[in-house]
Homo-oligomer: A and B are copies of this chain.
Amino acid sequence: MNGTFSDSFRADLRDLMRWRRDVRRFRTDPIEAAVLNRCLDAFSLAPSVGLSQPWRVIKVTSDQARAAAIANFMAANSDALAGYCDEKARLYAGLKLSGMCEAPIHLAVFCDDATTKGTQLGARTMPETRAYSVVSAITQFWLLARAEGLGVGWVSILDPARLCQDLQVSPDWRLIGYLCVGLPETLDDTPELERAGWEIRDNTLWMESR
């Protein structure tokens, strides 16, 4: 391998992106540790501002911690439903927005804003790039997991302060993403929100600067 890639690899990579979904319907089967560990490498291989590698990944394994995260989601989701009216409220109430009860693996991914790694390079002007580095790592994890046959669902309907408190993490850590991981019930190349009639996808267009 010399850092060049074939047409057939490129076609498969596009297919991977096409079949990557936000999964909310999981089988409860356990996931082999070796498979999950291979996916974890996506973090170490991710770009990070100033090589600061600010990601911190917690496997949420205890019954107590999982139950606290699920209760957090349920409260936030109920509040969110109250913000919609009429048809949109009816539609929202029918959406399945997290697979937390079924997914065998829960990962809480944080950004350590107090890290000294990278000595602030690139993060003085745009400190938010530390959080962005964590998002890049999560995106790579998502793709690698999908290539391994796993589904990932990113739950953002959560009170992040409450989650940090429940997991007793350092006050310098900020929640970036709460991920459910497991075998998906089905594969699909269309987002569940599109199939449910919530929103459709547009193509992205370039705009030109003046």
Residues in A lying within 8 Å of B, measured CB to CB: 1-5, 9-10, 12-20, 22, 40-47, 49-53, 55-62, 65, 76, 79-80, 83-84, 88, 92, 97, 108, 117-126, 128-129, 131-132, 135-140, 142-144, 146-149, 154, 156-160, 167-168, 175-177, 187-189, 191, 193-194, 198-210
Contact = CB atoms under 8 A, between A and B. Distances in A.
23 contacts: A3-B187, A4-B187, A13-B147, A14-B41, A20-B47, A44-B202, A51-B193, A51-B194, A52-B199, A55-B204, A57-B207, A58-B206, A58-B209, A59-B209, A61-B208, A97-B122, A117-B199, A118-B193, A119-B199, A121-B199, A125-B156, A139-B139, A168-B210
Given A59-B207, A83-B124, A202 B2 contact: no
Copies of this chain, whole number? 2
B156 A76 contact: no
Given A120-B83, A143-B13, A159-B125, A204 B136 contact: no
Given A59-B209, A122-B156, A136-B139, A16 B14 contact: no
A176 B132 contact: yes
B76 A125 contact: yes
Contacts of A51: 191, 193-194, 198-201
Given A14-B144, A65-B210, 11 more contacts: A1-B15, A10-B147, A13-B13, A13-B16, A46-B139, A53-B201, A58-B206, A118-B198, A136-B139, A137-B204, A168-B210
